[in-house]
């Protein structure tokens, strides 16, 4: 127990120091590296040089986040923690290479040989759709839950409010959840493109265990409505964030770009990591019935994005028609055990037939355990289905992808975390990328090209009326 607490304390403090603005901006005023880079890319050679320097120069001072601290205060390299392979040494102790080193390697390693089992487009589709999707609607974690009322309230609405109150109580209680200012989670995952279906044939991945790509992720959250996630799988890395006013994402194939529509929570945080935001997300939902999920009787809550939100998320020829979220809450425990997220996009290219893309994400949440009094789902899996259809039945396709994840570390109220850790990249491009940009590239090329042309025209028109020198309008295909 002492070793576990020591590892956890060391990891939390070292990660916070790595996130300091001084460290993340030492090379350039533009934010070219992620906030985690200071911790996750530090190698053994650097660590040994720091140790030798400290021995020869006791108590030197360095500037960090506007203060002077002795180098001696910096933590030694993380050498304790669980062994991902389960190997033990001669004395029965775990290997010195712990979980922190494994995540560091996942987020900085070059593409592995196993990545050749994937088509590049498959891995890109996996990360684009499953890496950092957003929730359907804007929600603030600081908004109070609606007061339970039966009078003049439809039974579907009042039932949903009652179910959410039970969920809040089962997750740790509203008072304890309101005391959380920020949160941190670290986990590992495995992604797989398992099946591709056309009108004439079905192609399945026969060597699923060999073709699966493993990786890791880190997630930071802070009130109000700020979050940052960094995820690496198969040698490719995706990171995304929100400073409370702007949601952005960076991928190797699109660079840094702002998300269309209102600020929305990260869907990955709703998968059992953030009960307060989850309850706020379903505040305007309706209870539509009951269903068994893996032998568990559950209530079903349904949430639909309103037309105004859908319109703000659409762009050019890509129109989001609907976005629906279903939450399945256990009648026995009151906890969220399953989520179904589905949205439909219509793409109408100039002079061409309309093509529809339906994206459905089914997530199952397991292994709830308390962390500082908050119930957290420590494992789960998601099944994603991309269904493309149009007027011609022969052009219909269906792609199935899977993801499994486990949570290794969770912490709340991490000291030293500030708003500076959620600053967007300096080279972000605004108003250029919609959610349809992550769909497979058949018809999307013409559609996004048309959207790019319209965006450039709009930029030229606005430049005559306002000073847009600091805004870059650009689309990469």
Which of 121-130, 319-328, 464-473 is modeled with the greatest confidence? 319-328
Q: In terms of Cα–Cα distance, which of 213, 216, 214, 218 is closest to 228? A: 218
More confident residue, 44 or 302: 302
Q: Which residues, 6 or more positions from 178, have their beta carbon under 8 angstroms from its beta carbon?
A: 276
CB atoms within 10 A of CB 351: 6
Give the residue among 184, 141, 169 at the shortest CA–CA distance from 278. 141
- Taking residues 188-202, report their average pLDDT: 85
- Residue 279 phi, psi (nearest 5): -65, -40
Whether residues 100 and 141 share a domain: the answer is: no
Average pLDDT over residues 384-404: 88
pTM: 0.70
Q: Cβ distance 378 to 368 under 8 Å?
A: yes
Residues 140, 31 share a domain: no
Q: Which domain holds residue 41?
A: 2-108
Clarify whether residues 190 and 69 are in a common domain.
no
* Cα–Cα separations (whole angstroms), residue 262 to 181, 247, 471: 22, 8, 19
**Across-strand partners of 463?**
none
103 and 213 share one domain: no
The pLDDT assigned to 219 comes to 97
Residue 294 has pLDDT above 60, yes or no: yes
Q: Does residue 371 belong to any structural domain of this protein?
A: yes
Domain match, 188 and 299 both: yes
268 has a pLDDT exceeding 50: yes
How many domains does the chain fold into? 2
Query: Would you say residue 209 has pLDDT above 60?
Result: yes
- Residue 433 inside a domain? The answer is no
Please indicate, yes or no, if residue 441 is contained in any of the structural domains.
no
Q: Is the backbone of residue 30 left (phi > 0), alpha (psi -120 to 50) or beta?
A: beta
Whether the per-residue pLDDT at 429 is higher than 90: the answer is no
Q: Count CB neighbours of 281 within 10 A.
A: 25
Q: Is pLDDT of 136 > 70? A: yes
Q: Tell me the mean pLDDT in the region 114-127.
A: 62
* Domain assignment present for 396: yes
Per-residue confidence (pLDDT) for residue 202, from 0 to 100: 84
| DSSP notation for 214-281 | EEEEEEEEETTTEEEEEEEETTEEEEEEEESS-EEEEETTTEEEEPSSS---BHHHHTTT-HHHHHHH
DSSP 433-450: --GGGGS-STTHHHHHHH
In the listed set 108, 142, 173, which residue is the last one of a domain according to the structure?
A: 108
Claim to verify: residue 157 and residue 87 sit in the same structural domain: no
Which of 17-26, 159-168, 374-383, 405-414 is predicted with the least confidence, judged by mean pLDDT? 17-26
Higher pLDDT, 212 or 172: 172
Please indicate, yes or no, whether residues 92 and 168 belong to a single structural domain of this protein: no
Tell me the percentage of the chain whose pLDDT exceeds 90.
43
> Is residue 122 predicted with pLDDT exceeding 70?
yes
At 350, is the secondary structure helix, strand, or coil?
coil
Find which of 56-70, 104-118, 132-146, 237-251 is predicted with most confidence, using mean pLDDT.
Answer: 237-251
pLDDT-derived band at 348 (thresholds 50, 70, 90) equals confident
Q: Is the pLDDT of residue 175 over 70?
A: yes
Average pLDDT rounded to a whole number, residues 415-430: 85
Strand partners, 203: 196
Mean pLDDT of the chain: 74
The pLDDT, as a whole number, for residue 57 is 47
Pair 283, 141 in one domain? yes
Q: What pLDDT was estimated at residue 198?
A: 83
Domain termination residue (choose one: 108, 143, 164): 108
State CA 331 to chain mean position distance.
28
**For residue 176, pLDDT beyond 50:** yes
Q: Do 274 and 296 fall into the same domain?
A: yes
In this prediction, residue 110 carries a pLDDT of 43
Range 262-288 average pLDDT = 94
In a domain, 207, yes or no: yes
DSSP code at position 90? T
Dig out the tokens for 342 from the structure: 């589905």
Q: What pairing do the DSSP bridges indicate for beta strands 236-243 and 318-330?
A: unpaired
Going by pLDDT thresholds of 50, 70 and 90, the confidence category of residue 241 is: very high
Distant-in-sequence contacts of 342-347, Cβ < 8 A, 24+ apart:
343/136, 343/305, 343/435, 344/320, 345/318, 345/319, 345/320, 345/321, 345/435, 345/436, 345/439, 346/318, 346/319, 346/320, 346/321, 347/317, 347/318, 347/319, 347/436, 347/439, 347/443, 347/444, 347/447
d(CA 382, CA 271): 10
Tell me whether residue 36 is in a domain: yes
Same domain as 129, residue 99: no
Please check whether residues 386 and 354 belong to one and the same domain: yes
Q: What pLDDT is stored for residue 405 in this prediction?
A: 96
The enclosing H or E element of 327 equals strand 318-330
Q: How many CB atoms lie within 10 A of CB 121?
A: 11
Give the per-residue pLDDT at 96. 39
Q: Same domain, yes or no, for 87 and 181?
A: no
Binned at pLDDT 50, 70 and 90, residue 89 comes out as very low
| Within-domain flag for 446 | no
Range picked from 119-128, 402-411, 464-473 for highest mean pLDDT: 402-411
pLDDT, residue 195, reads 82
CA distance 402 to 426: 34
For residues 136-155, give the mean pLDDT: 78
352: its two tokens = 């061409």
Q: Would 154 be classed as within a structural domain?
A: yes
Judge contact between 233 and 408, C-beta under 8 A.
Answer: no
């Amino acid at each position: 127990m002492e070793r576990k607490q020591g590892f956890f304390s060391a990891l939390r403090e070292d990660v916070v120091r790595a996130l300091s603005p001084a460290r993340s901006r030492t090379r350039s005023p533009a934010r070219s590296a992620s906030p985690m880079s200071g911790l996750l890319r530090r190698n053994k050679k650097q660590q040994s040089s720091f140790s030798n320097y400290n021995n020869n120069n006791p108590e030197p001072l360095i500037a960090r986040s506007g203060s002077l601290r002795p180098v001696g205060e910096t933590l030694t390299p993380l050498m304790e923690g669980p062994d991902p392979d389960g190997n033990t040494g001669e004395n029965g102790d775990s290997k010195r290479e712990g979980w922190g080193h494994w995540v560091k390697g996942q987020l900085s390693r070059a593409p592995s040989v196993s990545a050749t089992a994937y088509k590049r487009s498959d891995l890109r589709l996996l990360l684009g759709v499953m890496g950092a999707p957003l929730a359907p609607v804007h929600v603030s974690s600081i908004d109070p839950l609606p007061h339970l009322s039966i009078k003049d309230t439809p039974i579907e609405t009042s039932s949903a409010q009652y179910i959410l109150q039970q969920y809040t109580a089962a997750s740790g209680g509203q008072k304890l959840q309101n005391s959380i200012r920020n949160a941190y989670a670290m986990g590992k995952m495995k992604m797989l493109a398992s099946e591709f279906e056309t009108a004439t044939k079905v192609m399945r991945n026969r060597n699923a265990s060999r073709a699966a790509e493993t990786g890791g992720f880190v997630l930071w959250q802070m009130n109000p409505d700020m979050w940052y996630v960094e995820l690496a799988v198969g040698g490719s890395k995706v990171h995304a964030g929100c400073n409370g006013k702007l949601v952005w994402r960076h991928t190797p194939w699109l660079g840094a770009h702002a998300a269309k529509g209102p600020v929305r929570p990260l869907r990955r945080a709703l998968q059992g990591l953030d009960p307060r935001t989850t309850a706020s997300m379903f505040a305007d939902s309706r209870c539509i019935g009951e269903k068994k999920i893996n032998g568990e009787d559950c209530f079903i809550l349904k949430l639909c994005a309103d037309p105004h939100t859908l319109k703000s998320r659409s762009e050019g020829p890509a129109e989001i028609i609907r976005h629906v979220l279903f939450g399945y809450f256990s009648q026995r425990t009151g906890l969220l055990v399953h989520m179904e997220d589905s949205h439909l996009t219509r793409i109408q290219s100039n002079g061409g037939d309309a093509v529809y893309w339906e994206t459905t994400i089914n997530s199952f949440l397991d292994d709830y355990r308390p962390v500082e009094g908050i119930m957290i789902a420590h494992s789960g899996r998601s099944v994603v289905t991309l269904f493309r259809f149009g007027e011609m039945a022969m052009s219909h396709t269906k792609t199935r992808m899977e993801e499994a994840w486990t949570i290794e570390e969770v912490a709340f109220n991490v000291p030293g975390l500030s708003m500076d850790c959620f600053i967007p990249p300096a080279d972000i491009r605004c108003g250029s990328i919609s959610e349809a940009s992550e769909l497979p590239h058949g018809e999307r090329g013409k559609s996004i090209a048309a959207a790019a042309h319209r965006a450039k025209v709009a930029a030229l028109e606005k430049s005559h009326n306002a000073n847009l020198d600091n805004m870059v309008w650009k689309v990469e295909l």
